[in-house]
Amino acid sequence: MKLSYLLSQQYLIPDLKSVTRNDAFNELLDLLNLQNETISREEVFSALLQREEEQTTGIGKNIAFPHARFTNLKKMHIAMGISKAGIDFNSLDHQLVHYIFLILVNYGKPNELLKTRAAIGKLLMHKSAKRRFLSSSSAQELNDI
């Protein structure tokens, strides 16, 4: 699965302004078009916070996969943000997060989340890709990577 099939340029932020996890959630949610969905932005934000309370989505190596599952979601939604300064996600390795992939999926399609995370993880295994992400200055540059 190619990440470019899942994540279009309009859902990319090359330089998040947020300094906290919750602010990053809001900044990324601003990108998503949930108008055709039966869930509200507030429900999504609450679900993201609840997931973080269960266990951090900061998986280590400066990466976070905040996500939420909904029974009535029509399609998967994904947004990516790069924090040049880093954001505290209480990550498993205690490092700041620079690469945030916010993902919303339908409960009925659990493999969607797994395949998406695998595609992202495969890309981020390459240190050169991570460096290029951090040095990017536009959504177009992120998209090209």
Q: Helix %, strand %, coil % for the chain, to 5?
A: 40, 20, 35
- The string of pLDDT tens digits covering residues 9-48 is 889 999 999 999 999 999 999 999 888 888 999 999 999 9
pTM of the model: 0.91
CB 93 within 8 A of CB 62: no
- The string of pLDDT tens digits covering residues 81-134 is 999 999 999 999 999 999 999 999 998 887 888 888 888 888 788 788 888 888
